[in-house]
Amino acid sequence: MPLTGGDIRLERSHDGRVANLTLDHGRFNIVTMETRALMAERFAEIDADPRVAVVVIRGEGEHFTSGGDIAGFMEVEPFDLTDLGQDITAPARSPKPVITAVDGYCFGVGFELALSTDIRLATARSEFALPEMRLGMMPGSGGTQRLARLIGLSRAKYHVLTAERIQAQQALDWGLLASVSEDRDGLEAEVERVVSTMLGYSPVALRTAKEVLDRGVDGPLSTGVELERKSYSMLRATHDFAEGVAAFTEKRAPVFEGR
């Protein structure tokens, strides 16, 4: 049975191994203050569930999300706004791979949410933007930093300071997206392909690789390589590592257990 609460639905599929989060708040899936807090709650539940190996975030209806509840910002004390950026970027702290499936608008805090996930897939009609500058604001939930790391400082400055939209094909060319599908049906087929691929791998290897990528890329190359070597050595002690080697030598499909 689907779990509901606020405007983020949580459903499980693939025998509980995939957690599906769906933004569902009106035509444009406005991200309210409650949505932000609920995102952190949902991920706390997902992260504590050992059955879940992969997470997928979608938007209900015509658009992923047009962004935040603008008027609601004036109802929050300035100091308290710092916590809101932490809540919505819970995917970045999750040890599990998180996929975002975007169709239509992906603006403002919704874009920042997508940027905090590991793999972004989209339809050809999707558009991405950080429009805060139009409102006398700036991105406040990781948008400036994550966008700059993904597409380069010069491009990020242009799109933050002008608030111009990024079209799906351009986002793909810049490496912001992993793939672009013709329509929503194609997007769902691509999501299923990527999910099925990762479900065939060791959950502990997936978690470890995500952490090494995230932590290593922000430090010197030598530090990242050292982290990679030690993490590889740690995996050598796991059941799944031994199972992968055995399956390869025995010419059979591996049976990973996540340990």
Residue in 22, 39, 28, 24 with CA at minimum distance from that of residue 131: 28
Residue in 91, 114, 124 with CA at minimum distance from that of residue 190: 124
What is the DSSP-derived secondary structure letter of residue 14? T
Sequence-distant contacts of 13-19: CB under 8 A, at least 24 apart? 14/195, 14/199, 15/51, 16/49, 16/51, 16/52, 17/51, 17/52, 17/53, 17/54, 17/199, 18/52, 18/53, 18/54, 18/55, 18/56, 18/195, 18/199, 19/46, 19/49, 19/52, 19/54, 19/55, 19/56
d(CA 173, CA 177): 8
Q: Per the structure block, which two tokens stand in for 179? A: 């793939």
Strands 54-59 and 98-102: parallel
Which residue in the list 62, 132, 243, 257 is annotated as catalytic?
132
Task: Specify whether 192 is catalytic.
Answer: no
d(CA 254, CA 246): 8
Task: Specify whether 41 is catalytic.
Answer: no
d(CA 118, CA 198): 13
Which residue in the list 62, 75, 77, 112 is annotated as catalytic?
112
Q: Which residues are catalytic?
A: 112, 132
